Amino acid sequence: MNRSQRWRGTVLVVTTVAVCSRPTDVCAQERVVTLDTVAVERALREELARTRTPGASIAIVVDGRLAYAKAIGVSDVETETPMTSETLVRVGSITKSFTGLTALLLADRGTVDLDRAIGMYTARPV
């Protein structure tokens, strides 16, 4: 199977980002998190069916630790290769969302000013 055949099926990457807006010392405290994995998997399966996406992988990180990981469906619709937590997937344009979210988080913390030129925050002039 060549590379293009491997990626013919559309793969949905579901990323869950938990953000704490409190001071670091409060966020870093140990806490018990109850995760309804049945509901998470149900929601993932429903989203896959709704979008007619053949496979997805999800990871939920709580306090910097992997709390849940699951792969569902197939990575290649022609060969019906099962999706696994090791399956490499294209992320497409989702990195723009991560960059925007990061900029907003930094602005919320007062680390950057969104009204200033980006060159103020880079090692080289932009």
Q: How many CA atoms lie within 13 A of 1 on its CB side?
A: 12
Q: Is 17 within 8 Å of 105 (Cβ atoms)?
A: no
**Beta-sheet strand order (sheet of 55-62):** 11-15, 55-62, 65-76, 81-82
Residue of 83, 29, 37 lying closest to 60 (CA atoms): 37
Q: What DSSP designation does 16 have?
A: -
pLDDT digits (tens, 9 = 90+) for 70-118: 999 999 999 999 999 889 888 778 888 988 999 999 999 999 999 998 8
Confidence of residue 30 (pLDDT cuts 50, 70, 90): low
